[in-house]
Chain A
Amino acid sequence: MENAIEVEELTKYYGSLLAVDHISFGVKGKEIFGLLGPNGAGKTTTIRMICGMLRPTGGKALIGGFDVSQKPLEVKRRIGLVPDISNLFGELSARINLEFMGKLYDLDKKTRQERIDQVLKLFQLKERQNDLVKYYSKGMHRRLTIAAALLHQPEILIMDEPTSGLDAQTARLVREIIIDLNKEGRTILLTTHQIEEADRLAHRVGIIDQGKLIALDTPEQLKNSTQGMRALEIKILNAIDQQRWIPIIKEAEGVENVFLAEGKIRILSKDLPQMIPTVVNLVDKHGGKIENISVAQPTLEDAFINLTGKSIREEPMSKEDYLKRRLSRTGLR
């Protein structure tokens, strides 16, 4: 079966800055495909090229068999885009925003009204449909953004960081919506820098770093790619700054990688039985006491670190990454 989205050697340069480096992947019909990577990895640039909003420097993207560069309008008709920031017209009501979108997608008046009523009901926004969008909460903004992307009933939904910046409850609601939309038969391509999200939602995950696709598989297979590596989680007693211990533990023999995950120090090693006493001794030598120690199953984050050599968690953005992000998101130079 032909892939719903086919990306071949997609490349984007901003001047001399390489934002996306010969990326190739395919998204099967009715699949949730996650592009996982840290900020500035090239996820948004990739998505913008797939949606026909940015011209690739090289390679091509096909949506439903249509080449984005050759037939951008055909492609845009088939996809619904949910950007990472809710980009609705704040000075207009939700209904007028949706009316405008319906008009741009050439929906006749009757269909437009029916669909607007449908999505407003589906996303529980009917009661606030006439309020100006600028008075909406973040969660309502997000729901309306998804509603606007679904108005023309696209076969493919492309979502850029769908839960980024949302509180836990709204993020959960958005994830439920994504699963429901997929169950209805929609193909979903989403980007995320949240490992748990990719793990929970995506049938297959592509790991992207510094513009390159470095791995692509199901979350389970990616976890297995840690190749015999196991994880140890420790918590140092009374240490407010657990981060301080990371370079110390990194020195221990047999330690492949160390990073902070949910307030605990997570240590990856291929030889856990030998490494545990070494770590315990090292902590003791530096005046620390281990409050908690446990052996854990490899996660997608472990796989990510194994593949990229770094943590996906928030790090200060480099000047290059900032530039890439600014160029791809705002279209501003």
Chain B
Amino acid sequence: MKPLTSFMHSVWIAENDLRQSFKSVRHVVWSLLFPIFMMFTFSFRYGATGPDVLFISFLIRGIVGMTAMFGSINETMSIVWDKSLGVFDRILAAPVSSTSIIVGKTMAGAVMGVISAAVLLIIGSMLFGVSFANIGAIFLIILLASFSFTGIGTIISGLASEPREAMMLSNLLRFPMMFLGGVFFPTEAMPMPLPYVARALPLTYATEALRAIQVANTSIVLADAVVLFIFTVGTMLLGSQILMRIMTR
């Protein structure tokens, strides 16, 4: 099969997934409500002279990273729903390669991660007046992070035998990542050995890079981008191996 045809199959699969996700307004609203709620809850922190602007700026960047994680993993987990509803068979029965299917699902996950993060970034900037320098770099970090989260979503989708199991598995990963990934407080402030645990999580590098962009700390941004890239390659390779095994049983 020609590479362009294969790529277009992936695009159609991603488009179809995203179309379904955005078709349901409720689905979109509910998925964004959680990070917005977290944003408001944790922003009620005051310094000596009023709201702690520095912390709010720190928090919003962390929540943007966290939203990318939720968006990507949720979208990729649609594979489990597709399997249980039988719609995955529809794609499997079509003349589409397994690679195209995995790439398509990954693309949908990454796009969803970027869109969710962008919405939170806009809300944070409008409501809390947080300014974002170097939007291009922010976009690249979010995209890279979203791909690595999508890889995690693919692994969960491959391991879970049904949607409830996938939800439990994803919570097992998402919630520790949310609290240990430097979203709400710096990883350096955590008691030992949690800072080391945090270093094993892709979200830590995403939040760190998003903050480093603001202060133009290029070396940290580059180092985090490299680690995120390694995470992306690792999780996607593992995830696609697991999925491929299921698709070609």
A77 to B, closest residue via Cβ: B95
List residues 194-249 of chain B with CB under 8 A from any CB of chain A: 246-249
Which residues does chain B contribute within 8 Å of A329, judged by CB atoms? 86
| B105 part of interface (Cβ distance < 8 Å) | no
A73 to B, closest residue via Cβ: B95
| A286 part of interface (Cβ distance < 8 Å) | no
How many B residues are at the interface, by size bracket?
20 to 34
Please give the distance in Å from A236's CB to the nearest CB on chain B: 43
| A331 part of interface (Cβ distance < 8 Å) | yes
Interchain CA distance A88-B20 in the complex, whole Å = 12
Interface residue from A87, A96, A103, A105 paired with B87 (Cβ < 8 Å)? A87
| A323 part of interface (Cβ distance < 8 Å) | no
A79 to B, closest residue via Cβ: B93
| A53 part of interface (Cβ distance < 8 Å) | yes
Interchain CA distance A51-B16 in the complex, whole Å = 23
Interchain CA distance A96-B19 in the complex, whole Å = 10
Which residues does chain B contribute within 8 Å of A215, judged by CB atoms? none
Residue from A88, A106, A333 with most neighbouring chain B CB atoms (10 Å): A106
Interchain CA distance A104-B13 in the complex, whole Å = 8
Known: A54-B249, A55-B248, A333-B161. A101 touches B94 (CB 8 A): yes
Which residues does chain A contribute within 8 Å of B248, judged by CB atoms? 55
Query: Are A331 and B91 closer than 8 Å at their CB atoms?
Result: no
Known: A92-B23, A101-B90, A101-B94. A106 touches B5 (CB 8 A): yes
Which residues does chain A contribute within 8 Å of B9, judged by CB atoms? 103-104
Query: Are B16 and A100 closer than 8 Å at their CB atoms?
Result: yes
Interchain CA distance A148-B92 in the complex, whole Å = 14
Please give the distance in Å from A327's CB to the nearest CB on chain B: 8
Known: A76-B94, A92-B23, A104-B9. A332 touches B84 (CB 8 A): yes
Query: Are B90 and A73 closer than 8 Å at their CB atoms?
Result: no
Known: A87-B86, A87-B89, A331-B246. A103 touches B19 (CB 8 A): no
Which residues does chain A contribute within 8 Å of B20, judged by CB atoms? 89, 91-92
| B192 part of interface (Cβ distance < 8 Å) | no
Main secondary structure of the interface of B (DSSP, over half): helix
Interchain CA distance A177-B19 in the complex, whole Å = 31
| A292 part of interface (Cβ distance < 8 Å) | no
| B97 part of interface (Cβ distance < 8 Å) | yes
Query: Are B87 and A89 closer than 8 Å at their CB atoms?
Result: yes
Interface residue from B13, B89, B96 paired with A331 (Cβ < 8 Å)? B89
A326 to B, closest residue via Cβ: B161
Please give the distance in Å from A8's CB to the nearest CB on chain B: 20
Interface residue from B19, B84, B96 paired with A330 (Cβ < 8 Å)? B84
Query: Are B86 and A91 closer than 8 Å at their CB atoms?
Result: no
| A275 part of interface (Cβ distance < 8 Å) | no
Which residues does chain A contribute within 8 Å of B88, judged by CB atoms? 331
| A81 part of interface (Cβ distance < 8 Å) | yes
| B24 part of interface (Cβ distance < 8 Å) | yes
| A229 part of interface (Cβ distance < 8 Å) | no
Interchain CA distance A101-B13 in the complex, whole Å = 10
Query: Are B89 and A104 closer than 8 Å at their CB atoms?
Result: no
A328 to B, closest residue via Cβ: B249
Q: List 21 A-B contacts (CB under 8 A).
A: A53-B93, A73-B96, A76-B94, A81-B89, A81-B93, A83-B89, A83-B90, A87-B89, A89-B87, A96-B19, A101-B90, A101-B94, A103-B8, A104-B9, A104-B12, A104-B95, A104-B96, A105-B94, A329-B86, A332-B83, A332-B162
Binding site for B on A (CB under 8 A): 51, 53-55, 73-74, 76-77, 81, 83, 85, 87-92, 96, 100-101, 103-106, 132, 148, 329-333
Q: A90-B85, A331-B247 are in contact. List 16 more A-B contacts (CB 8 A).
A: A53-B92, A73-B1, A73-B96, A76-B94, A76-B96, A77-B95, A81-B93, A87-B87, A87-B89, A88-B90, A89-B16, A92-B16, A100-B16, A101-B90, A104-B13, A331-B88
Binding site for A on B (CB under 8 A): 1, 5, 8-9, 12-13, 16, 19-20, 23-24, 83-97, 161-162, 246-249
